[in-house]
Amino acid sequence: MAQATLHFPSDFLWGTSTSAYQVEGLNPNSDWHAFELSRGVADDPLLGCGPSCDWWADAESDLDIAAEMGTNAHRLSLEWSRIEPEPSVFDREAIDRYRAILQACHARGLEPMVTLWHFSNPLWLVEKGDFNSDVVVDYFRRYVSKVVDELGDLIPKWITINEPLNYVFLRYLDNAFPPPSERGYSAAMEALVNLLRCHAAAYHTIKAGYPDAPVSAASAMNIITTRPRNNVLDRWFAGKLSHLDNDAWNDAMQSGRLWTPLGTRRVKEAAGTFDFIGLNYYTRFYVRFPPKKGIVEREWEPGAVLSDGDYGEVYPHGLYELMAHVTNRYGKPVYITENGAPDAADRIRPGFILDHLRQVWHAISFCYPIMGYYHWSLVDNYEWERGWTQRFGLVEVDPGTQARRWRRSAYLYQEICRTYSISSDMAEQYAPEMLDVMFPG
């Protein structure tokens, strides 16, 4: 068997990623809590957020775990509805709690990357129309300005908005996320434009306080394609979807022009508002046109390795393709801000981690500026409309007892982070099925 070790640069960031609503626990001021109540799932142990991972009371214990795992970075988000529970009323205790959490990251050698908005809104904002109305932009700027003043000294890297396209799709065109005041294509377009304006407002606000701090958004990017022999319409559709999913938002942060199949909108102030690419990557899927049902019907490669609950195909090479794509297109540093798989039994995760990191190593060897990798997620957490049915954690969580248990993947990630490398020995120990794929010869 070939023996090999693939080394990573000594300044590489090894991280994990979480978002506030998904780990903090009960937050009655958030639209997600209202959505759980309206669906009657708030108290359901499988579908309700409940105490989640109890981070509002104790994030520190899990940050201890992250440090013990050898990571040196963590991506987390702030909950707008906690910081500003009423319009213009800022909650001192909440701000102090976030200060403590950020200090806890620094104290453990975990560089925080902070997301300002990750899918959840204050209830009062929803009453004012949130992303259906451009009033959201001034409100968001006010919230960001408060965060910059109060917490900016502890935030070395910023993400303004998480996965805007995904959010708009799930909320305005699908029924998965909290219902907006108006659904449909034109409401979706308006919401996307308002998210872009919010991003631009946040970018400029952060830069006014901290001109050198890197700022970007995190985009969900997928490999979207057709089966090899599919027809020209399928290929056309896949091309359009792929451009929308993977390029539209990043292009808009570059040029200030947002292209969608519904038209192009100019948001001047968004031009040049990103210092790096935040790349969230999970899967590859095939599409056909017209879909048999819905807007997009995802199909997986026959025989593909799938993660739990039909979440998607495990396709590590897709990460390489996207890293190459964004580097060639924008020439900016790249952070893999999310990458992971739902896998309660930890059946595929060790191989998933090793092979995705091999792609990262490959990209770095070709001098692509890949600066860090944040695994989604450190701990099992509330997976939005799918509740606790999908488990993304390196560490298993029992939300009923708050017990933690390291999955084998956590021990693997620990070895990787501590040695800044992946190796054939690791593959042999944790994912022997990957040996021939990763280290042929």
Which residues contact ligand BGC by CB under 6 A? 19, 162-163, 166, 220, 280, 338, 376, 383, 392
Give the shortest CB-120-to-ligand BGC separation in angstroms.
10
Closer of 54 and 383 to ligand BGC (Cβ): 383
Closer of 278 and 350 to ligand BGC (Cβ): 278
Give the shortest CB-238-to-ligand BGC separation in angstroms.
20
Give the shortest CB-279-to-ligand BGC separation in angstroms.
12
Q: Which two tokens stand for residue 36?
A: 């759980």
Q: Which two tokens stand for residue 369?
A: 């500026």
Closer of 166 and 230 to ligand BGC (Cβ): 166
Closer of 265 and 284 to ligand BGC (Cβ): 284
Closer of 50 and 256 to ligand BGC (Cβ): 50
Contacts for 74 with CB less than 8 Å, ≥ 6 apart: 15, 16, 17, 18, 63, 66, 105, 110, 111, 112, 113, 374, 378
Give the shortest CB-162-to-ligand BGC separation in angstroms.
5
Q: How far apart are CA 120 and CA 406, in angstroms?
A: 29
Please count the other Cβ atoms lying within 10 Å of the Cβ belonging to residue 414: 18
Give the shortest CB-284-to-ligand BGC separation in angstroms.
15
Q: Where are the alpha helices (DSSP H) in 9-168?
A: 20-24, 31-39, 55-58, 60-68, 80-83, 92-107, 123-127, 135-151, 164-168
Closer of 73 and 220 to ligand BGC (Cβ): 220
Give the shortest CB-282-to-ligand BGC separation in angstroms.
6
Q: How far apart are CA 76 and CA 80, in angstroms?
A: 13
Contacts for 303 with CB less than 8 Å, ≥ 6 apart: none
Closer of 78 and 426 to ligand BGC (Cβ): 78
Q: Which one-letter amino acid corresponds to residue 328?
A: N
DSSP state of 366: T
Give the shortest CB-307-to-ligand BGC separation in angstroms.
10
Reported in sequence order, the residue ranges of 208-322 that DSSP labels E, i.e. its strands, are 215-225, 257-260, 263-266, 277-286
Contacts for 386 with CB less than 8 Å, ≥ 6 apart: 47, 309
